[in-house]
Structure 1
Amino acid sequence: PEAQVDRFMFKLKVSYPTKAEEREIITRQISNESVNIEKVASTDDILKAREVVSRIYVDERIKDYVVNLVSASRYPEEYDLNELKGLIQYGASPRASIFLTKAAMANAFMKHRGFVTPEDIKHVALDILRHRIILTYEAEAEEVSSEDIIRKVFDAVEVP
């Protein structure tokens, strides 16, 4: 199952709706009114945006940063994260490096920048990595989450 889960780019945490929001959901679902949906972007707009995102600059130091972050989840002792060694069953895969970089490029695009910063990487990290770091039973017993591990990795890896 780990390999199947790894194919999903993000694992987003979605909270429950408020009571008012849930009531509105019910109202919309039982209504016979037709919904008026308006197009906000054309296929051409989306293809152009994808092209722009693909041209966002990723410096070699940023690539090294991503590789080090992912590597630290696999080999924590190499990053002086000895306390994590018995807590991680499987670290993040190479797919994590790819998706972390692509999501950071999209984040830079959304911020109207033509280049990726370490802050872009941090901004998308939890959503990209939380389902890719598989914890041991010891970690679960100690109530350590994958998000706790990710934060410690970010604290340990040098920022370019």
Structure 2
Amino acid sequence: MPRRWLYLCFVVFLTALCVPRAHASTDRVSFMHDIHVGDTEEADDAVCFLCSIRVDGKVNGDSVAFLGGIRVKGEISGDAVSFLGSVDMGDQSRIGGDCVVFGGPLNLNGSATIGGDRVDFPFILVMLPFIVLALLIYGIVSLFRSRRYRAYPMMPPPPPMR
């Protein structure tokens, strides 16, 4: 029995030696709380769910906002993606990669630059599949309702009033 414990401790020790050491990451991930990268701050990536991202400093990676906007007064080295929100770029701001906006406006002010592609999907294009699906469901429901009530004759009109 003691030998098994010795073997188990040896395996745990070898496993601990092989595990890479963790390093501090400056990624910013938030849920329902806005992210603000200040003038003197840097972040690797910024991901925000149901909130907005404001970049006054520098983001070395990508910035992604779901149901929120991105305001850039500094620099984003990677891509900027906003789903159902806007991307507002201040004077002399820079996005190094692509800028993708689903269902919101892309506002460029002054000498703002985007290094990659600009992709802007209007809100109607985002909602078009849902509208088509709703119309299809409405058509099927009305078809079944009309067939269901077709078997019943119409009620006779009321007698005329004297």
- Greater strand share, 1 or 2? 2
* Structure with bigger gyration radius: 2
State the TM-score, normalizing by the size of structure 1. 0.19
- Greater helix share, 1 or 2? 1
